[in-house]
Amino acid sequence: MPAIIKLEEVAFTTISIWFLSKYNLGLPVWIWALLFFSPDISMLGYLISAGFGACSYNLFHHRGIALAMAAVGFYLQNDVITAIGLLLLAHSSFDRTMGYGLKYPDAFKHTHLGWLKAK
C-alpha cells in the first residue's frame, strides 16, 4: 500500500480516536482498548464459510456504515450510538493501515487493498 494512503488511514484513525475521546461515555481507557479490537470478532463468520465470513467482516469494517452510525447517533443525540460509530471508524481505519481491507468472498487474504502477504 502506498505511503500516502497509509498516512490517510492513520489520520482517519487519529481523528476518530480524538472524537471518541469526546464521546467516551465515562468508561476507563482499558475498556476502550478492549472495545477497539471487538469488531474483529466478526472474523468468526469464517468458521461457517468464506462468503459468510467476508460478509460479517465487511459489515463491521465498512467505513460508510461506521460514519452513518456516528451521524445517526449525533443527530439523535445518542452518545452510545455515536461512540459505536466512531469506534468502528477508528478500528476499520487502523486495520487498513495494517493492510487489512474489506474482504472478497473467495478467501480471507483477498481484500480490496490487494492480497495479504504472510509476515
pLDDT tens per residue, range 66-95: 999 999 999 999 999 999 999 999 999 999
Cα-to-chain-centroid distance, residue 25 = 19
pLDDT band with cut points at 50, 70 and 90 for residue 116 = confident
| Distance separating alpha carbons of residues 41 and 39, to the nearest angstrom | 5
Partners of 114 in the β-ladder? 111
Partners of 9 in the β-ladder? none
What is the pTM (predicted TM-score) of this model? Answer: 0.91
| Distance separating alpha carbons of residues 114 and 101, to the nearest angstrom | 8
| DSSP letter assigned to residue 103 | B
| DSSP letter assigned to residue 36 | H
pLDDT tens per residue, range 45-71: 999 999 999 999 999 999 999 999 999
Angle at 51 between CA 56 and CA 72, to 5 degrees: 25
What is the dihedral sign for C-alpha 52, 57, 59, 60?
Answer: positive
